[in-house]
A and B are shown apart, each in its own frame.
Chain A
Amino acid sequence: MQTKVRVHTTVNGEPAEFLCEPRQSLLECLRDILGLTGAKEGCNDGNCGACTVILDGRPVNSCLVLGVEAEGRTILTIEGVARGNTLHPLQQAFLEQAALQCGVCTPGFIVAAKALLEAEPDPSEARIRQYLANNLCRCTGYDKIVRAVQQAARMLQGVEA
């Protein structure tokens, strides 16, 4: 009996309910059912990190989570990172450092970096590079991305506006 499953979650602070097939990834559910297209499909096998979301406080590849696994859980996507029209310091820093070219990897980088800075407010450059190793940028803008994360860390600590 092929039955769709109703899933109850919290997405970006709001209750979100969706009906999905068990085989649909959380990424497909976010993009195709809930219309949250910020998380991108890159490799669809856990290597590139473009689909990164925060699931119950942990950064995950949403392509490697089933939508049905999200029952009762809390999800943060790139759409929930800004406060209204006010960019998150990471978003501001990515703009100021020009830390993107094509931009496909950017949502994943920002969400993963947010998880890092919440766990470790003042990471070293080596730690930033290691933590973000699951995020690939094929325009090869890593230096600027790392500088943006460093700037955001300073902004979040109130060292720099």
Chain B
Amino acid sequence: MKWFDYAAPRTLAEAVGLLAAQPGALALAGGTDLLVQMRSGRKSTHLLVDVKHVPEMNELSFDSTRGLTLGAAVPCCRIFEDRAVARVYPALAEVAALIGGTQIQSRASIGGNLCNAAPSADSIPVLIAYSATCTVAGPAGLRRIPAEEFCTAPGRTVLQPGEVLTGLHLPPPPARFGARYLRFIPRNEMDIAVAGAAVSVALDNGAIRAARIALAAVAPTPLLVHEAGVALAGRPVSEETVQAAAEMARAAAQPITDMRGTADYRRHLCAVLTRRALETAIARAREGK
């Protein structure tokens, strides 16, 4: 790695000040992607700003009226060990336990997964399904962005020079709500999704009141299948509805063929994973989970 300086600011203002004053400075959270990219030469900087000592970046708190506040640097292990997250946002707890392995989960954060903006990122479809918003701090103050608009291309985000993601906000789930993320990988752990699907659903008297479907690894960015949510609203919970959702996911996918799978195979996976994730999300909504 090329030489860089290291700063560990204690306040958000100090962190933003450093990032804004030094063009090319990079924010460091868990480092499980960034340090690998710097070592390989894909990224370089003269200043690494470690944001793990900034209080906002470490916040993990749930309030039944305000929802979940998840600091951008909170490691995955804190998320899946948190009782409120496991109870109220089980699909988030599950994905935090799915990324990398144990050692990676001790360090990697959901905020970092989002900023790394990999098309295959497991947690981003989950954030989209939970209607998360991203809080960004910069020289001009704070702004909020829906999770589905955060990534703009592989490895690229809406963050402008001097800006940093401080955290995520997940609204409190409505009544009879459920969510689930499923991915396909050839082995059991420690792999990158060939395709993934996150689904959330809110039920109302045997019908779907609202639904969100988001896909991983089948487009340049994590993909919200907006039309599926619109089409599902008001439909009865049935085998036909689930199959229709699966077909809409298949149609929305824009996959490429690479070493992990062909485009056709990925489209097929989108349908299968969406159907299975929706079935579990519906079951969870009925159980009130």
Contacts and interface: CB of A to CB of B under 8 A. Distances in A.
Contacts of B50: 68-69
Contacts, number: 87
B265 interface: no
B22 interface: no
B35 interface: yes
A134 B48 contact: no
A60 B107 contact: yes
Interface in A23-78: 23, 25, 44-47, 49, 52, 55, 58-61, 64-66, 68-69, 71
A98 interface: no
B104 interface: yes
Contacts of B8: 68-69, 71
Interface string B42-68: 000000101010000000000000000
A59 B35 contact: no
Contact of B103 (A5, A44, A59, A69): A59
A110 interface: no
Nearest to B81: A119
Indicate the size class of the contact surface on chain B.
Answer: 20 to 34
A58 B101 CA distance: 12
A2 B3 CA distance: 8
A116 B75 CA distance: 17
Contacts of B39: 44-45
B189 A130 contact: yes
Interface in B50-104: 50, 52, 75, 77, 100-104
Contacts of B75: 58
Contacts of B101: 49, 133-135
B32 interface: yes
Contact of A46 (B3, B36, B48): B36
Contacts of A133: 101-102, 188-190
A47 B102 CA distance: 11
A58 B106 contact: yes
Contacts of B48: 22, 66
A52 B31 contact: no
Given A49-B101, A59-B102, A134-B104, A65 B31 contact: yes
Central interface residue in A22, A68, A131, by most chain B CB within 10 Å: A22
A66 B107 CA distance: 12
A92 B227 CA distance: 59
B77 A58 contact: yes
A13 to B, nearest CB: 20
Contacts of A52: 103
A46 B32 contact: yes
Interface string B138-173: 000000000000000000000000000000000000
A49 B28 CA distance: 21
Contacts of A5: 6
B6 A64 contact: no
A116 B30 CA distance: 21
Interface of A: 1-3, 5, 21-23, 25, 44-47, 49, 52, 55, 58-61, 64-66, 68-69, 71, 112, 115-116, 130-135
Q: Please list the 6 inter-chain residue pairs (A to B) with the smallest Cβ-Cβ separation, ordered nearest first.
A: A134-B101, A133-B189, A22-B6, A58-B106, A23-B1, A134-B103
